[in-house]
Copies of this chain bind each other. A is one copy, B any other.
């Protein structure tokens, strides 16, 4: 009774390849437990898009990309087509959007999500840009076509912040939330406090595949701000954009700043905060000295976390340790399974 789900994988970078690996290792379990068989019928990277109605072999596609191969070299390559153009007629039941974050145009993700939703194809996003640039439009399009749109992978990797906010805080008035949403900068800050150089720490983050393609997104605070914008729209009930967030990165910090904080019993973190104020929330991202023994002060290295204070649900604290892209890919899988079963 397994149902084949023809799937478009837009973006076959670190997250996309991890998704393929999950299909290789967990395919049988997913079929047995949920009755679903994900079949990649459409794949795209920066070289273009390819369609194979019978499905690409996940392991072969992953190895092709890991070996430096491009989608344009695959059978089924459609010269000159964008992912969005291919999605208009490709045999696809599900879009997985994992292409790089592009805050200027949102492309190619934004058009791909538009194309899928317009055709009634459910969309699961790991790419934040379409939501950051066009949250309201994406949701209106999903509603108009009565098609699900899920994106728990966009905030804190596999930590289900969005799911908790949307499903588990029903009717809550959230007074305050604060979080560490970017593990690359969190790792760099920790390493710098321990005496390592900024460049060396950044290089390790990039080698692990966790840094954004454009590392300035991580260290200048924009990745953190992206996540705060998605949170604000998803469960704080405000239609915020990046322009509504005060953003400061960590590039101005020195090793001396970090050591001075430590000597003082505090630790400097790149903190996102939403504080309830009359008429809405004050949204900020920036380095902040917080107590070493506080929950977020203990969110170290490859961890990301959030604390949420509300009137009905006490104070909740959630964090995750992850240092590979696999959990983010798993978050796409859970979204896909939850919206299909």
Contact = CB atoms under 8 A, between A and B. Distances in A.
A167 B341 CA distance: 11
Given A30-B171, A160-B168, A316 B312 contact: no
Contact of A318 (B317, B331, B337): B317
Contacts of A33: 171
Contacts of A201: none
Interface string A235-267: 000000000000000000000000000000000
A333 interface: yes
Contact of A22 (B34, B298, B312, B326): B312
A307 to B, nearest CB: 9
B318 A314 contact: no
A34 B317 CA distance: 26
A334 interface: yes
Nearest to A166: B338
Copies of this chain present: 2
Interface in A42-63: none
Interface string A157-173: 11110011001111110
Contacts of A295: 298, 319
A158 B169 CA distance: 9
B320 A315 contact: yes
A315 B157 CA distance: 12
A152 interface: yes
A208 interface: no
B168 A334 contact: yes
Interface in A300-316: 305, 312-316
B314 A171 contact: no
Contacts of A170: 34, 330, 333-334, 337-338
A322 interface: yes
Interface in A125-162: 152, 157-160
Interface of A: 22, 26, 29-30, 33-34, 152, 157-160, 163-164, 167-172, 293, 295, 298, 305, 312-323, 326-327, 330-331, 333-334, 337-338
What are the 6 tightest A-B residue pairs by CB atom distance, in nearest-first order?
A314-B322, A170-B334, A312-B330, A160-B168, A315-B321, A158-B313
19 contacts: A22-B312, A26-B312, A30-B171, A33-B171, A152-B168, A157-B314, A158-B316, A163-B167, A164-B164, A167-B167, A169-B334, A170-B333, A170-B338, A305-B317, A314-B322, A314-B323, A314-B327, A315-B322, A317-B321
